[in-house]
Chain A
Amino acid sequence: MAQMTMIQAITDAMRVEMKKDESILLFGEDVGKNGGVFRATEGLQDEFGEERVFDTPLAESGIGGLAIGLGLTGFRPIMEIQFFGFVFEVFDSIAAQMARMRYRSGGMYHSPVTIRSPFGGGVKTPELHADSLEGLMAQTPGVKVVIPATPYDAKGLLISAIRDNDPVVFLEHMKLYRSFRGEVPEEEYTIELGKADVKREGKDISIITYGAMVHSSLKAAEELAKEGLEAEVIDLRTISPLDIDAIITSVEKTNRVIVVQEAQKQAGIAANVVAEINDRAILSLEAPVLRVTAPDTVFPFASAEDVWLPGYKEIVETAKKVINF
C-alpha cells in the first residue's frame, strides 16, 4: 500500500493499464510533454512514447471523433477533456456517436472509450470549468458515468472504466485531486462499475451522494453524531447506472433519506434517485426524500462559490428536517 492523492491514483491506474495493454492510447490537450494541466498524465509520455501518449489540436469535437475512429481500428482510447464545462463542444461525439455505436451497428462495432475530465467547484476556477454536468451524461443511453471521491476508488474505478468495452465518462472532482491522501494498493485492482459504497454506517438516516459531497456528507454525519443521530453515507461512485440494491438496502434500514449533490436542483441525478426510491421503497419511508443541491442559477462567479455551493451545514439541516418530519 502507498499513500496517494486522488490524482496520483488516477495516474497510477493509467500507468498500470497502459503497461498491460498496448492498444491503450492516451490523448488530449497538453497531456503529453506537459503531463496534463493537473499533472494527471505526468511521466506517461516519457514512459510509453509519443505514439501512445500525445497532444491534440485544441478542438474537443475533433478529440471525440479521434477517439471513435481509433476505437474502430482496434485501439482503446483514453481521451481527456481539459474541463468538463467544455463538453458541449464534443457532445455529439459522446452522446450521439460513441454512446450509440454498439446499438446502431447491431453489435458489430463498439466504442471502448474512456473520457476523463475534471469538474467541480470550490477552487475558484474561471467560468465554465467547474460546472457539474454529469446529469446530461446520465440521461444518455449507452454511456456509463463514474465519479470517484477517494484515491482508492479512483484507481479501481478508472481501471474498470478503461477495460469496459463501452464508453465511460470518468469525472474527476478538482477539489478532491490533492486535498487528502489515502491508502492505494500499488498493484492492479478493479472496482465494479455500477456499485455504490457505504462510506459510513448508520441507522437513523441515509445520505446518498457522490463526488465532493461525499466528504461534506461525512462531515455532516459527524455533526449529526454529536446529537446522537447516526447517518449512513452511501457514495454512489457510479451515477449511471445507479446501484439500486445498495440504495434500497440502506433505505429499508434507515427509513429516511436525503440525496446530496453539488449540481443545481434541476440538474445532476438526485431527482432520479428520489424517483427510484419512491418506486421501490415507498412503504419503508417515514418521511419524504429531500434533496440538498445548489440553486438553479448558472454556476457562480468565483467569489460567490462559498455562498452558493452546498456544504455540510445544509446537509445537517436537511437531514434534521427529514428526521423531525
Chain B
Amino acid sequence: MKSKTLEQVENQFETFQILNEEGEVVNEAAMPNLSDDQLQELMKRMVYTRIWDQRAISLNRQGRLGFYAPVAGQEASMLGTHFALEKEDWILPGYRDIPQIVYHGVSLEQAFLWSRGHFQGGQMPEGVNVLMPQIIIGAQIVQTAGVALGLKRKKTNTVAITYTGDGGASQGDFYEGLNFAGAYSAPAIFVVQNNRFAISTPVEKQSAARTIAQKAVAAGIHGVQVDGMDVLAVYAATEEARERGLNGGGPTLIETLTYRYGPHTMAGDDPTRYRTSDLDDEWEKKDPLVRFRKFLEKKNLWNEQQENEVVDQAKEDIKAAIKKADAAPKQKVTDLIGFMNEKLPYNLNEQMDEFKAKESK
C-alpha cells in the first residue's frame, strides 16, 4: 500500500495535455498563443522529421549512415520543446536529439557526418548555440547547469535546454545537474523524454517513482509531466519553463510521455524482444502527427497537398545532404592531431611530423 505522502506527491504531477488523440482541445485555458503560420510550421517540422527518420533508417541499412538513434514517435516532444526556444538559447542534446539541433541551425549534411563519424559533424556553425550530441548519458545534464549559470551571469536573457531519456534519469549526473541548477537558480530546462524503455529495460525497472517529473522535488525545482505526443502541450510547458528561467524562477524539469516506434538504435537492437505488439498498437494511436493533423485540418490549416509538399521537400533535402556528406574530405590523422590542443605538446608535434610524412607519400 502506498503511503499518503507518496500519493500526495504523485498527485502533484498529473499529465498536462491540450490535444487529445482525436485532435480535440481538452484544455482551452492552456492553449499557447501560436499564429496559423506557426502552427503550420510545427506540423511541417514534424512531418519532415518523420520522413527524415524513415530515410535515415534506410540509409543506415544501406551503409550510407553510421550511428543512428530513431526518433519516430518523439516528434512532438523534440520539436515542440525546441519551438519554444529563441535562436540564442543553448541546446545540449543527447545522442537521439538531432532534430532539435538541426532546427536550431545545424545542417542535415552535418548531422549525417556526425552519424558517420567525421569531425565536420561536430564543428557546430558559429553562432549556433548547440553542443555535439552527448553519448555519456547524464553528462549533458551537469553541463547544462554550467551553461545556464554562465548565461545568467552574463545577463543574456537566454536559457539552456537539455534532453535525456527515462533511463538517463537514474544517473547521478541527472540529479546533480538539476540540483546545481536549482541551487544557483539558473535558467535551465531539463527535458526527460520518457519513451518507456532504455534499450530493453522498461521504465518501471529504473525507479519505483511513478513519474519522473516528481524527481524535481529532490532538487527543489519545478517539475511537470506532459503528454509528449501532444505538440501543443509540450510547447506550452517549455514556453512556461523558459519564462520561469528568465524571470529568476530557476530551472524546470519537464517529463514528456512519449514512445519510439523504432528500435533504440540501428546497431542491432530488436524491440520485439522486449516490447509487445499491444503496447506498440496502443502508442500508434497516440501518434503526434495524427492528432495534430486532425487538429489543423479542422481549422482548415492543413491538407494532403501541403503534407505531400513537405514529404517531397524532405526527400529532396536528404538526397542533397547525403551527396554533400559524401563529398566531405576524408579524415587524416594530422587533422585529428590538429584538433587536440590550441598549442600542440611535444608528443603530438612529433606525431604530427610522422603522419605528415606518411600522408605525403
Contact = CB atoms under 8 A, between A and B. Distances in A.
Verify that A and B bind, or say they do not: yes
A67 B176 contact: no
A96 B183 CA distance: 25
Contact of B122 (A96, A105, A241): A105
Interface residues of A, number: 45
A194 B344 CA distance: 11
A57 interface: yes
Interface residues of B, number: 42
A243 B349 CA distance: 13
Contacts of B139: 65, 92-93, 96-97
Given A62-B145, A69-B160, A103-B336, A109 B180 contact: no
B146 A61 contact: no
Given A69-B145, A97-B143, A142 B341 contact: yes
Contacts of B123: 105-108
A72 B147 contact: yes
B346 A242 contact: yes
B173 interface: yes
Interface in B161-187: 172-173, 176-177, 179-180, 183
Interface string B129-144: 0011000100101111
A16 B32 CA distance: 51
A127 B341 CA distance: 35
A144 interface: yes
A267 interface: no
B154 A166 contact: no
A108 B124 contact: yes
Contacts of B126: 108
- Majority-rule SS of B interface residues: helix
Contacts of A108: 122-124, 126
A61 to B, nearest CB: 5
Contacts of B173: 61-62, 65, 92
Contacts of A66: 142, 145-146, 149, 180
User: Which of A68, A92, A97 has most chain B Cβ within 10 Å?
Assistant: A68
A256 interface: no
Given A65-B173, A96-B136, A106-B119, A165 B342 contact: yes
A102 B346 contact: no
Interface in B314-338: 336, 338
A65, A108, A141 — which one has the most chain B CB atoms within 10 A of its CB? Answer: A65
Contact of A65 (B146, B183, B338): B146
Contacts of A70: 146-147, 149-150, 153
A51 interface: yes
Given A166-B341, A166-B342, A57 B183 contact: yes
B345 A62 contact: no
29 contacts: A57-B176, A62-B177, A62-B179, A64-B142, A65-B142, A65-B144, A65-B146, A65-B177, A66-B180, A67-B146, A68-B142, A70-B147, A72-B143, A72-B150, A73-B151, A73-B153, A74-B154, A92-B139, A96-B139, A97-B136, A103-B336, A103-B339, A105-B123, A108-B123, A108-B124, A108-B126, A142-B340, A164-B342, A241-B345
Interface of A: 25, 51, 56-57, 59, 61-62, 64-75, 92-93, 96-97, 102-110, 141-142, 144, 164-166, 194, 240-245
8 tightest A-B CB contacts, nearest first: A69-B146, A65-B142, A73-B150, A241-B345, A62-B176, A69-B147, A106-B123, A66-B146
Interface of B: 90, 119-120, 122-124, 126, 131-132, 136, 139, 141-151, 153-154, 160, 172-173, 176-177, 179-180, 183, 336, 338-342, 345-348
Given A69-B145, A103-B119, 8 more contacts: A62-B142, A62-B145, A70-B149, A104-B122, A107-B338, A108-B124, A241-B345, A243-B346
